[in-house]
A and B are shown apart, each in its own frame.
Chain A
Amino acid sequence: MRSLQTQLLYRLSNKRSAPYLFIAPFFLLFLSFWIYPVFYSLYLSFFSATGLGPRTFVALDNYTRLVGDGRFIRSVINTSTYAAASVFILAPLALMVAIALNSSYTRYLKNLYRLIYFIPVITSGVVIGIMFGVVFDYAYGLLNNFIARIGIEPIPWIRSSQWALRSIILLGIWIWLGLNSLYFLAGLQNIPNEFYESAIIDGANAPQRFRFITLPMLRPVTMFVVIQAIIGSYILFDQVWVLTAGGPQDSTLTMTIYLYLIGFRQFRLGYASAIAYSLVFIVLGLTLVVLLVFRKFGDDV
């Protein structure tokens, strides 16, 4: 027994195995806490597994059921709306902020701006949720108090089903604007100044320079930002859970919140796994679409 251990130690002490030994802890944890659950969840999605006790194989029933589940469809629409806002409102805004930060006018305030925009990113989603519960409250909220002073009627930010998703989108913009601006800023600073100089000599005006130099040069960064926004939107959970828990009237029910409700509040693990996998397929599909679009866009240039 002892000799086996000694032999193993001897073998491990040789130089070639050392690197594997160093990375082994990560891969063991990765396999047991990541890869295993991922595949187990796929397996579970073909079963009816409610509560404790035996499971029954139901093949694709969980997936066909999803198609007719109104709440699931609602959650897909809500999440997709949020994702669309991230891509079509947040990303352009972030680009504008980055351009502003990059201009020579803001040179001296750059570090301050960077700090202000970065604070939300390092704050936990739960803290943000609790904070904005106070900000968005109808009768006693900071935001309504503020807009009342400038003569605007109070808005039921998170209380009404018409407004709640918009407020969540607004909150999302507040959180992610800074980080995305930084990505764009890094991209902007990587564009060699010579391009602009020669364009100016050739007589290109500012919009032309933006259209034919800045945008094409930012293509990789933009693609990264868009894909990140899509993934981030589809896994959105904590702020929304704390702020509205998916309500009022399911108006902010995201796919992950629905997954949580089904998995834990309703204890239907098979069905929850099917929701998880539908989420994976949607994100995978959208990412492929984005890659294709950007490739096509790239060919044009």
Chain B
Amino acid sequence: MRYITYLAILLALLLMVPSAFGGGAQEADTDEVELLFWGFADNRNQWYRDVADLYEEMHPNVTITIETYPYDEMHDQLQTALVAGTGAPDIADVEISRFSVFTRGARVGFVPLNDYLTDDQLANLNASAALDPWTWDGVRYGIGNELNPGALYYRWDLLEEAGIETPIETWEEFTEAGQRYVEETGNYFLSVPNVTWGWWWMVAQAEGGFFDETGDVNFDNEFGQRVLQMFYDWVYVDEIATLAPGGEYDSPGQYAALDAGEFAVTMGAPWFQGFMKDNLEETAGLWEMQEFPIYADGRGSRTGQWGGTGTMITEQSDHPDVAWDFIQFANFDVDNLMLAFDRFNLYPTWVPALEDDRIYEPDPFFNDQRPGEYVERVAGDIPTFYNSPYWPEVTDYFEDFVMDRVLQDEISLEEAMRVGVEEARDLMEDF
């Protein structure tokens, strides 16, 4: 009797399940398509929402839901859903440093785009920012729509007061200007990031970055050493810099210090321009930008890929063709990309969009400079980006045990690089 009761409870609950979900999906109209999009950046998602509204107007049978989750949570959930085999969205935004882990298993988890991309489209994309970071074994899995050449931003008013002329051509001149600035004002010239993200621009200068084209560790090359030495000297020898509040440029403490005029210089990619506008209300109009200086001997790079996000179709999507159509609509259309430019200074990887006049408008935040001209000037100089499946281990290790220890004066640079490369290779072999 008792068992029959238990069984009855169980069966009753089971019977409740389908009715709770509206009774099966068989009768659904096959033309109706629902797409789910996951992203982690508010401004990107607001733009995707705008574009989705336009797309839904043109295709009434398609409904697109845009969901935003915090950065870590979204990527973690996406990985979990792909492992579980269910629950993943149709389309997802994947940040540049979170893509490589997907290349570790037998499957990548996203729909290959090689057959979708036409030759015409390929010819019109800036490959180093749009395709390379989301390509693995020759298969393209995502479209990055942001051109992210890092730049140097400075307070023109403070520099003028200190008698410093811009643009600054070489790093040697930059350091001298910093010393003059510190003498004049008693404030630091800039801050140096010693934890996450700070190394992005170091990658830029290091003509290649963390890995070389063979996949070997490359952060100890001549330029990697040179840049880290320069960081170190700024803090301990030239005394023009301090470690950034919170250890990074995108931190509340750093923004507060910038807005209060405690540093005159900072660095970042175009997405950082949007962050500056959101966080530096007091000093709007007092900022200008220039490309990175290079070294007096002519080596170095004027810019470098600094971050980025790719949009992918997951393997669980029931409508990859519609999803691709939407991604094309958003990312390969000048007017739609302009909506993103208006929202958060997105400089498109879609080359025809860079011919649009609107990108070259003067920007009041940057004292009526034309940021678009800067991007156009340096876009071709972005050094190639080599990804690696060991990206998370090696970059984490580099931040924590090479960069941070050198910048906290705990270990000499030569020692840190020597041990660092050995350890990083061990990590890769160990895997």
Contacts and interface: CB of A to CB of B under 8 A. Distances in A.
Contacts of B246: 133, 137
A206 B106 CA distance: 70
A20 interface: yes
Interface in B1-36: 4-6, 8-9, 11-13, 15
A28 B246 CA distance: 44
A250 B400 contact: yes
B13 A52 contact: no
B102 A24 contact: no
Given A51-B106, A133-B246, A134-B253, A265 B8 contact: no
Nearest to A9: B12
Interface of A: 5, 8-9, 11-12, 16-17, 20-21, 24, 28, 50-54, 133-134, 137-140, 159-161, 245, 247-250, 261, 264-269
Interface in B98-126: 101-109
B207 interface: no
A140 B245 contact: yes
Interface residues of B, number: 45
B226 interface: no
A266 B15 contact: no
A264 B105 contact: no
Interface stretch (B76-84, B140-148, B266-274, B341-349): B76-84
A137 B400 contact: no
Given A137-B246, A265-B396, A54 B106 contact: yes
28 contacts: A8-B8, A8-B15, A11-B8, A16-B5, A17-B5, A17-B8, A24-B13, A50-B105, A51-B102, A51-B107, A52-B109, A133-B252, A133-B253, A134-B253, A137-B245, A137-B253, A138-B245, A159-B243, A160-B408, A247-B195, A247-B399, A247-B400, A248-B408, A261-B392, A264-B72, A267-B79, A267-B105, A268-B104
B242 interface: yes
A8 B11 contact: yes
A54 B85 CA distance: 12
A12 B9 CA distance: 7
Nearest to B315: A52
Given A51-B109, A249-B401, 14 more contacts: A5-B15, A8-B15, A11-B4, A20-B6, A51-B101, A51-B103, A52-B82, A52-B102, A160-B408, A248-B408, A250-B400, A261-B392, A264-B76, A267-B79
A265 B101 contact: yes
- Could you say which of B8, B83, B195, B393 has the most chain A C-beta atoms within 10 Å of its C-beta? B8
Nearest to B105: A51
Interface in B149-181: none
A95 B107 CA distance: 55
Nearest to A24: B9
Nearest to B72: A264
Given A8-B15, A20-B5, A266-B393, A248 B400 contact: yes
Interface of B: 4-6, 8-9, 11-13, 15, 72, 75-76, 79, 82-83, 101-109, 195-196, 242-243, 245-247, 252-253, 256-257, 392-393, 396, 399-401, 404-405, 408, 410
Contacts of A139: 242-243, 245
Nearest to A130: B252
Contact of B256 (A12, A50, A140, A247): A140
Contacts of B253: 133-134, 137, 140
Contacts of A137: 245-246, 253
A16 B8 CA distance: 12
Contacts of A268: 104
A123 B242 CA distance: 33
A264 B108 contact: no
B408 A159 contact: yes
Contact of B13 (A28, A138, A140): A28
A93 B405 CA distance: 35
Contacts of B109: 51-52
A248 B195 contact: yes
A132 to B, nearest CB: 12
